[in-house]
Amino acid sequence: MTASKPSVLFVCVHNAGRSQMAAAFLTTLAGDRVEVRSAGSAPAESVNPAAVEAMAELGIDMSAEVPKVLTTDAVSASDVVITMGCGDECPYFPGKRYEDWKLEDPAGRGVDSVRPIRDEIKGRIEELIASLAPAAP
């Protein structure tokens, strides 16, 4: 990982739900200790409104986020690449840390169905933060 601060890229197909929630949690919970990116292999036109609502319930505002297209540069510039159902669409670079998080897709679901996905993502983000910047003894 880079000497300054680690960078993490979250990738899902539409960059409208899972990857946006993960990026928002990491940005909120890690602050400026981690550089955060998210992208999609086939970005949607807007972020999933149910994901925005579910995150707002926890005080995290994703309403201004816009889905972004996955680029080779984004992968190249990241230390950790976390995929969420994008299959083989994500470019591979040796020396990067890759994780594939098996999460349900919140697309087309209401906020009641998105909350458990949101909560699972939050738990994984907390574990990720601990692995990137372990607490001092």
**Burial label, 136 (beta-carbon count in 10 A; 0-12, 13-18, 19+):** exposed
Q: Which residues contact 108 (CB under 8 A, 6 or more apart)?
A: none
One-letter amino acid of 45 = E
**Annotated catalytic residue 90:** yes
Best CA proximity match to 9, nearest among 36, 41, 42, 49 = 36
Active-site option among 8, 11, 12, 81: 12
Query: In sequence order, which ranges of 57-110 are alpha helices (DSSP H)?
Result: 72-76
Active site residue 125: no
Among 90, 111, 129, 132, the active-site one is: 90
Q: CA 27, CA 94: separation in Å to the nearest integer?
A: 26
Active-site choice (26, 70, 86, 103) = 86
Q: Has 86 been annotated as catalytic?
A: yes
* Residues acting as catalytic residues: 12, 86, 90
